[in-house]
Chains A and B, each alone.
Chain A
Amino acid sequence: MTAVTSTPVTASPPSRLRRWRKADPVLILSVLWCALAILVAVAAPLLAPYDPSQTDILAAAQGLSAQHWFGTDEVGRDIFTRVLYGARLSLLGPVLVVVIATAAGTALAIAAVWFGGWFDRLLTRVLDIAFAFPPLLLAVLSVVLFGPGLTAPVVALAVAYTPYIARVVRSAALRERHLPYIESCTLAGLSGPRICVRHILPNVLPLVRAQAVTSLGSSLLDLGAISFVGLGIQPPSAEWGLMVADGRTALLNGSPQESLAAGFMIIITVVAFNMLGERLAERAEVRA
């Protein structure tokens, strides 16, 4: 006598997670969108129908049309073209911020974990203080130093993001530091820098990657906000945050397409980066 019984008693999270990851539409869409955004940024001159700074007073403030898909702005520039070109500065900023902050944060965190003692305590204190500074305040200070443009907000945000990266990496690196495989490297006479770069770093890298991608999203948002308030990229450059601000007059006149198009780009791209970062973080967790 045999009875075939299926027993759905408890759902098991790991297996569901695994299946989910296998074909995860959100993840696929996120990756596709990020790839598309980067492609657009690189190939903007090939894709855009007009010159982004070419003004045409006769065709100013037009609505949607076959010639101008998203219409034109106050001075007659093609909004679609400017959205495409906008991807360049809008993405370059976050990439610079994240590259600098990730490199600095990871290096500081691993060094703190490796040397320990007063160096680690000092770094932790400094990070605690750095958390208290809002990125926008740093941006204002930075503009005083560097003047408006891309440099000031990038430097400010890189400084503001470093503690976040450092905190995550520090706790991961601390876990690795006291595992026997690192101790056995020490006992084998390998040098400190080698152990840090060849052993600790690769093992915390999945987490670093996840944190970096998530930071891409939030720094895109922060940079957009800085441009919006006029402390960042200056007109007539095409940049999404700036375009949202530029479109305000038209918005009041009943043609919201410039603000909407740029705002939409910001939102979707940020969401895509966040989703991707979250999945990468999940993966890093599973690995650990």
Chain B
Amino acid sequence: MNSRPNPPGADPLVRVSHLRLDIPVRGEPRRVLHDVSFEVGAGVALGLVGESGSGKSMTTRVLMRLLPHGAATDGDVLFDGTPVTGMDRRALRRYRSSEVAMVYQDPRAAINPVYTVGAFLTEALREQKVSRKEAEERAVALLREVGITDAPRRMRQYPHQLSGGLLQRVMIASAMLTKPRLLIADEPTTALDVTTQEEVMAILDEQRRERGLALVFITHDLDLAAAVTDRIAVMYAGTVLETAASANLHETALHPYTVGLLASRPSTVDVKRLWAIPGRPVSAFEAGPGCVFTERCPFAQDRCRAERPALRTVDDHQVACHRAEELRGRITYEADGHADHQHDEQTESV
């Protein structure tokens, strides 16, 4: 997949820098995001990859400004140069209704079961005073675009009469109706079978390219993200640990967590003992003062435990690791479960 970088000098459509988020839990603020930075240009797809509790879904909620009462953010979230956190009611409504669109993991929860697909798709257009006939024509045309051949029949059906894959296509079509500039897809294929996932991904990819959309694609599947996005941001415990070009992430990953994730994925082509990152994924609020990954990192040193590394540029990656240069290309996770530096004489004990 070719990356399509922004024209030089242009501001990216979305820029998130040093985003921090606290959400009140039982009256006490709880840290959900420590430090999240990334940017997405028009026509570019960014994969936001992380395990449960990494804060990837919360990040998109900040992008949509759908936060619980009492949430406090710090840092910048800019859409086309405008701070999302500072929008007034009207600007926010216009932003949500026509600039951004979302596709969710479970289409059944995101669609009202008592309306037909047609009613669901034309509702927003009818609100904008588009005639019924025109709204229906546009909806049918969109359904055809997302590969639904018998669109007129589907328009009359109810959500429960459609399979998960078809329903997700309907959701993609509905996201396209308002001609947004940014599409946020939150685990859109996680609930689907692999063969259906391939279809839905192909359609999503096609729509994004044809329309020049910026895409933020959230997933736990690093292989999937690498295949369908231009850049990847790896998140862990409310922190972006690494961003890199998707195409060569497998070979050039710098952060021990990214390398570990790649090594722990079972392959369909060969059998080997998997490298298993020890311990369990921690939440942002459980992290100590140092790097959020120290507890599970085989390469952690005193400095890692004491001082939180900031995201910095190493090669063409952005990486938040004190030892990135030193470990570059030398992290191997071996079959017997030990992590080691290749050809490193002074390997510290794990």
Contacts and interface: CB of A to CB of B under 8 A. Distances in A.
Contact present between A and B (CB < 8 A): yes
Interface of A: 1-12, 15-16, 18-19, 22
A10 B18 contact: no
B26 interface: yes
Q: For chain B, give the interface size range.
A: 20 to 34
A9 B26 contact: no
Interface of B: 18, 23-27, 65-76, 83, 85-86
A6 B70 CA distance: 7
B264 to A, nearest CB: 26
Given A15-B24, A18-B26, A22-B27, A5 B69 contact: no
A10 B71 CA distance: 10
Nearest to A14: B68
B131 to A, nearest CB: 33
B36 to A, nearest CB: 14
B26 A7 contact: no
A5 B85 contact: yes
26 contacts: A2-B74, A2-B75, A2-B76, A3-B76, A3-B83, A3-B86, A4-B72, A4-B74, A5-B72, A5-B73, A5-B85, A6-B70, A6-B71, A6-B72, A7-B65, A7-B67, A7-B71, A7-B73, A9-B66, A10-B66, A10-B69, A11-B69, A12-B68, A15-B23, A15-B70, A16-B69
In the A-B complex, list the 9 residue pairs whose CB atoms are closest, starting with the nearest.
Answer: A12-B68, A11-B69, A5-B85, A7-B67, A19-B27, A18-B26, A9-B67, A8-B69, A6-B72
Nearest to A2: B74
A2 B70 CA distance: 18
B25 A10 contact: no
Nearest to A21: B26
Contacts of A4: 72-74
A122 B152 CA distance: 46
A8 to B, nearest CB: 5
B65 A9 contact: yes
Nearest to A1: B76
A264 to B, nearest CB: 37
Nearest to B69: A11
A5 B85 CA distance: 7
A15 B85 CA distance: 22
Contacts of A7: 65, 67, 71-73, 85
Contacts of A10: 66-69
Nearest to A4: B74
A12 B25 CA distance: 10
B116 to A, nearest CB: 28
Nearest to A11: B69
Contacts of B83: 3
Contact of B68 (A1, A2, A15, A22): A15
Contact of B26 (A1, A2, A11, A19): A19
Contacts of B74: 2-5
Contacts of A15: 23-27, 68-70
A6 B72 CA distance: 5
Contacts of A2: 18, 74-76
A19 B65 CA distance: 23
A3 B74 CA distance: 6
Contacts of A9: 65-67, 69, 71
Contacts of B26: 15, 18-19, 22
